[in-house]
A and B are shown apart, each in its own frame.
Chain A
Amino acid sequence: MEFNLKIWRQKNAKAKGHFETYHISGIEEDASFLEMLDILNEQLIREGSDPVAVERGCKSSGPVSFDHDCREGICGACSLYIDGRAHGPDDHVTTCQLFMRHFKDGATITVEPFRSAAFPVIKDLVVDRRAFDKILQAGGFISVRTGSAQDANVMLIPHDKAEESMDAAACVGCGACVATCKNGSAMLFVAARVSSLALLPQGRPEAKKRAEAMVAKMDELGFGNCTNTRACELECPKGITVEHIARLNREFLKAHFSN
């Protein structure tokens, strides 16, 4: 297969970015999107080191930087905005699990970083998502000291509750919800954590405080408000639904009225 890749290039956080277009061919259908970018980078590095190519006017900005790690759809590191969709055209996958058979041979593919005021670009397609860590530091935990837990079977948790908690806990923290939301809201991310813990008896004592602290931190860090467009749940690679936002709102209101 062959493609024209229109890729966002930006030297660093302060530099102005622009699109550059590259042609790539000889891609196997079973190659993943990131493997295709690996191959592009090999090509760009070779061109950059080839004096003949440089003389021919091949202006290489060097290889394209992009975040990636596990390539199994679980670490949440990869983060591309492909043809106007977070993680590209396939549903319920992260970019690393997107395969080239989902594209038309010869297509032009536009690749951008996740764009949000709270996620500044570091370089090319790499963004800074430390804001997510900060939100979780504000309260996304259960305050239990190592060694002070009682036997795991003392507190029973109904099967369905555990499953529902797990649905929310599947969040990989990639930021697709933020990149997709027209307001740049992190509500789905916050809701996933709040909901996952609120559904478990161990998470109840701090549930209200947690919701309040995490929402306050989200606002402080420059994420936008939720206006219920539900775009986030469509693009979530893990299929996390806005039902969890409803649960977050309930916890938040409870906290609000009890204050």
Chain B
Amino acid sequence: MADKLISKIPDGPLAEKWTKRKSEIHLVSPNNRRKLEVIVVGTGLGGASAAATLGELGYNVKVFCISDSPRRAHSIAAQGGINAAKNYQNDNDSVYRLFYDTIKGGDYRSREANVYRLAEVSASIIDQCVAQGVPFAREYGGYLANRSFGGVQVSRTFYARGQTGQQLLLGAYAALNRQIAAGTVKSYPRYEMLDLVLVNGHAKGIIARNLVTGQLERFGAHAVIIATGGYGNTYFLSTNAMNSNGSAAMQCYRKGAFFANPCFAQIHPTCIPVHGDQQCKLTLMSESLRNDGRIWVPKKLEDVEKLRKHEIKPSQIPEEDRDYYLERRYPAFGNLVPRDVASRAAKERCDAGYGVNETGKAVFLDFSEAIQRLGHQRVAERYGNLFDMYEKITASSPWKEPMMIYPAIHYTMGGIWVDYDLQTTIPGLYAIGEANFSDHGGNRLGASALMQGLADGYFVVPVTISDYLSNKFAEPKTDVNSKEFIEAEKAVQARIDRLFSIKGTETVDSIHKRLGNIMWEYVGMARDEAGLKKAIEEIKALKEEFYKSVNVPGSQFEFNQELEKALRLEDFFDIGVLMARDALNREESCGGHFRIESQTEDGEAKRDDKKFMYVAAWEYQGEDKEPKLHKEPLNYEFIEVKTRNYKD
């Protein structure tokens, strides 16, 4: 089966690979595109842009989302911005530099060719979005404004206040709406994919549940694109939306798509700390705040004590008694180190006893210096809505006292394994955006998720998919009454029936919360062998308990949110085990994956390039069987692999 792992990276110089691949790809003529059907699952930046672009090209597209409207997909919540190698700031930015920063930021665990292509198409994304009417921030002369993000030394991030994801998604959603009106795309809101259907080994459709009526329905196509985002909600508490889930990816995995680097999860350093055990969702404060905000904890433990007892306010601690620990440890990048580095540094200070709130799990993000330097109005223009949001949630004003922040699960770099064409190991099945693994290695840089979603959806998959579809137009429409579809539907029905038959006493959420605790404790910011082994055992036991004790109220044939959650939780158990297994295998520290056994003397992550410079792609072997590990070696032909250094 190892032959399945062919990355299809074109030969030749880095800068010519995409051009070369595009010139080789077989085309489908316009009159034949009409005969071809494509299913797109998910309507975030990747799914909406792919569905719109494929519709525009003349394919027949069906697009599915679990929300009441495509516009609700979680891309909408991205705040800070989108990167592009425009060099509008004349700060010596370039496609190469964006590529290099992304590879380095990802701790040398992503593919050179994919990342270069991402950087190459980045500029076109901005052009496209501006043409769609995305109101990016402008300078007074009318030109586009930029800001800086973590892990880079240039300003290449385009933004629309703190609502960049919203504006980009509304652009893609508008493009999608235009195609829905034109009749090339049919939209299925409030539908949830529950299985992938293969015919003769090719992806030919899906089984989906109509979330309003509860009916299972079969949908056929010539190809299927998965754009369902990441699996951060395995941890229960994360910055992901409540309904974000990894189920579609797991369905593909069980049908034979390899799952790559599952252990690479991003922990975002600037989230509002947990306030109590009634909480179910964590809120992100944009990384853009680190442009002007300075992160610190007190130098003296007695000040920490006083803060926790509310005897003093943070603003009363004098400058010389503050430890700006990122500026101290990483002078070259200061507060703008990559997310994994900033998160670990916060944990290090809090573990040492310097956490500034009652739980000991918070650090300060302080704007007093920026307010003095820039004035109230300019700070308000840049971050006003984020300050408001913080105040609404915490009832404390960042204008007066520093914000309190702590790391939280935010994004998953791992995902379905794809080749250069974004095709999975199942022919006819593609994965784009956060759902695939391809571009961010061990750690994603800020403002690059939006870039990847739109790159894949607008500019990559609509091109590459024609290579697969070019000889399919003569095939008849997929028959959804074939035995493959009927069997797949029966299997889904059996899953649902089983859940209703349990009739236990525990709620889905209470069990999910326990899964989250196991994940955060053992598969969180610091991992070791004993803990990971324990996590695997505990998750398996919890899954067994779930099948004995869960209570899914109501019935299938109604709007039933508890059933939706129960089905997703079944998959989160399996993702949790897969993440722990991958983390156990990867005996190195790399990006967001920190193995306690593998660190330098001063506590920095220690990579092991000799043993682990590969993509770990896991192949499903059956329920409760150990998956098989395949290794795709990462060959760095064009850049020198170094230890990441943000100190000087």
Q: Does B256 contact A (CB under 8 A)?
A: no
* Contact between B133 and A142, CB atoms less than 8 A apart: yes
| Chain B proximity of A122: nearest CB distance (Å) | 6
User: Which of A70, A93, A169 sits near B392, CB closer than 8 Å?
Assistant: A93
| Chain B proximity of A254: nearest CB distance (Å) | 19
Q: Which residues of B contact A149 (CB under 8 A)?
A: 124, 127-128, 130-131
A161 and B138 alpha carbons, distance in the complex (Å): 9
User: Which of A123, A126, A145, A202 sits near B133, CB closer than 8 Å?
Assistant: A202
Q: Does B509 contact A (CB under 8 A)?
A: yes
Q: Does A258 contact B (CB under 8 A)?
A: no
A259 and B279 alpha carbons, distance in the complex (Å): 56
* Residue of B144, B167, B174, B284 ringed by the most chain A CB atoms within 10 A: B174
User: Which of B49, B177, B276, B503 sits near A141, CB closer than 8 Å?
Assistant: B177
Q: Does B1 contact A (CB under 8 A)?
A: no
Q: Which 4 A-B pairs have the closest CB atoms?
A: A156-B142, A149-B131, A141-B174, A149-B127
Task: List residues 220-276 of chain B with CB under 8 A from any CB of chain A.
Answer: 241-243, 275-276
User: Which of B69, B74, B129 sits near A130, CB closer than 8 Å?
Assistant: B69
| Chain B proximity of A100: nearest CB distance (Å) | 10
A49 and B504 alpha carbons, distance in the complex (Å): 7
Q: Which residues of B contact A165 (CB under 8 A)?
A: 133, 135
Stretch at the interface among A74-82, A179-187, A223-231: A74-82
* Contact between A123 and B167, CB atoms less than 8 A apart: no
A72 and B240 alpha carbons, distance in the complex (Å): 10
Q: How many residues of A contact B (CB 8 A)?
A: 80
Q: Which residues of A contact B561 (CB under 8 A)?
A: 63, 65
A49 and B550 alpha carbons, distance in the complex (Å): 10
Q: Does A197 contact B (CB under 8 A)?
A: yes
| Chain B proximity of A144: nearest CB distance (Å) | 4
User: Which of B68, B242, B276, B279 sits near A128, CB closer than 8 Å?
Assistant: B68
B169-181 vs A, CB cutoff 8 Å, 1 = contact: the mask equals: 0100111011011
* Contact between B558 and A147, CB atoms less than 8 A apart: no
B59-79 vs A, CB cutoff 8 Å, 1 = contact: the mask equals: 000000001111110101100
Q: Which residues of B contact A41 (CB under 8 A)?
A: 507
* Residue of B67, B68, B124, B243 ringed by the most chain A CB atoms within 10 A: B68
* Contact between A74 and B77, CB atoms less than 8 A apart: yes
Q: Known contacts A27-B278, A158-B138, A170-B163; decide if A71 and B283 are in contact (CB<8 Å).
A: yes
Q: Which residues of A contact B180 (CB under 8 A)?
A: 133, 137
* Contact between B135 and A133, CB atoms less than 8 A apart: no
User: Which of B69, B166, B178, B392 sits near A133, CB closer than 8 Å?
Assistant: B69
A237-253 vs B, CB cutoff 8 Å, 1 = contact: the mask equals: 00000000000000000
The 9 sampled A-B contact pairs (Cβ below 8 Å) are A39-B278, A42-B510, A45-B553, A62-B562, A97-B389, A123-B559, A137-B177, A146-B462, A166-B161
Task: List residues 123-178 of chain B with CB under 8 A from any CB of chain A.
Answer: 124, 126-133, 135-144, 160-161, 163, 165-167, 170, 173-175, 177-178
Q: Which residues of A contact B173 (CB under 8 A)?
A: 136
Return the chain A residue nearest B70 by Cβ.
A133
A38-49 vs B, CB cutoff 8 Å, 1 = contact: the mask equals: 110110011011
Q: Which residues of B contact A99 (CB under 8 A)?
A: 392-393, 395
A85 and B131 alpha carbons, distance in the complex (Å): 38
Q: Does B521 contact A (CB under 8 A)?
A: no
* Contact between A169 and B69, CB atoms less than 8 A apart: no
| Chain B proximity of A72: nearest CB distance (Å) | 5
With A74-B165, A132-B69, A146-B52 given, can you name 14 additional A-B contacts, CB distance below 8 Å? Answer: A28-B278, A30-B394, A31-B278, A48-B553, A63-B562, A71-B281, A90-B392, A136-B173, A141-B177, A144-B175, A150-B131, A166-B135, A169-B167, A196-B133
Task: List residues 176-218 of chain B with CB under 8 A from any CB of chain A.
Answer: 177-178, 180-181, 187, 189, 212
Task: List residues 130-180 of chain A with CB under 8 A from any CB of chain B.
Answer: 130, 132-133, 136-138, 140-153, 155-159, 161-163, 165-166, 169-170, 172-173
User: Which of A30, A75, A123 sits near B558, CB closer than 8 Å?
Assistant: A123
Q: How many residues of B contact A (CB 8 A)?
A: 84
* Contact between A49 and B72, CB atoms less than 8 A apart: no
Q: Which residues of A contact B140 (CB under 8 A)?
A: 158-159
Give the A-B pair count, Cβ closer than 8 A: 229
* Contact between B126 and A152, CB atoms less than 8 A apart: yes
Q: Which residues of B contact A97 (CB under 8 A)?
A: 389, 392-393
Q: Does A209 contact B (CB under 8 A)?
A: no
Q: Does A50 contact B (CB under 8 A)?
A: yes
* Contact between A42 and B175, CB atoms less than 8 A apart: no
A202 and B280 alpha carbons, distance in the complex (Å): 41
B304-325 vs A, CB cutoff 8 Å, 1 = contact: the mask equals: 0000000000000000000000
Q: Does B614 contact A (CB under 8 A)?
A: no
Q: Which residues of B contact A76 (CB under 8 A)?
A: 71-72, 76
Task: List residues 44-75 of chain A with CB under 8 A from any CB of chain B.
Answer: 45-46, 48-50, 62-63, 65, 67-75
Q: Does B505 contact A (CB under 8 A)?
A: yes
Q: Which residues of A contact B241 (CB under 8 A)?
A: 69-71, 75
* Contact between B553 and A62, CB atoms less than 8 A apart: yes
Return the chain B residue nearest A128 by Cβ.
B68
A128 and B68 alpha carbons, distance in the complex (Å): 7
Q: Does B102 contact A (CB under 8 A)?
A: no
* Contact between B132 and A144, CB atoms less than 8 A apart: yes
Q: Does B93 contact A (CB under 8 A)?
A: no
* Contact between A173 and B71, CB atoms less than 8 A apart: yes
Q: Known contacts A72-B389, A75-B74, A153-B144; decide if A49 and B161 are in contact (CB<8 Å).
A: no
Q: Which residues of B contact A170 (CB under 8 A)?
A: 163, 166
| Chain A proximity of B93: nearest CB distance (Å) | 14
User: Which of B68, B130, B504, B510 sits near A77, CB closer than 8 Å?
Assistant: B68
Q: Does A203 contact B (CB under 8 A)?
A: yes
| Chain B proximity of A74: nearest CB distance (Å) | 5
* Contact between A45 and B131, CB atoms less than 8 A apart: no
Q: Which residues of B contact A70 (CB under 8 A)?
A: 72, 74, 76-77, 241-242
Return the chain A residue nearest B553 by Cβ.
A62
